Amino acid sequence: MSPSLNVINTTLSLLLFFIGLIGLLTQRQLIKQIIGLKIMLQGVTLGLIHAGRLNGDLDFAQSMVISALIVESVVIAVALALLVNIYRHYPSGDVDDLNRLRG
Q: How many domains does the chain have?
A: 1
Output the pLDDT for position 50: 92
Residue 94 pairs with which residues in a beta bridge?
A: 29
Q: Are 53 and 64 in contact (CB under 8 A)?
A: no
DSSP structure string for 20-82: HHHHHHH--BHHHHHHHHHHHHHHHHHHHHHHHHHHT-HHHHHHHHHHHHHHHHHHHHHHHHH
pLDDT for the residue numbered 31: 87
75: domain CATH number? 1.10.287.3510
Q: What is the pLDDT of residue 4?
A: 87
pLDDT of residue 67: 93
Mean pLDDT by 10 residues, the chain (103 residues): 85 95 90 91 92 91 93 91 84 75 62
- DSSP one-letter code for 91: T
Whole-prediction pTM value? Answer: 0.82
Domain that holds residue 27: 3-100
Integer-rounded Cα Rg, in Å, for the chain is 17
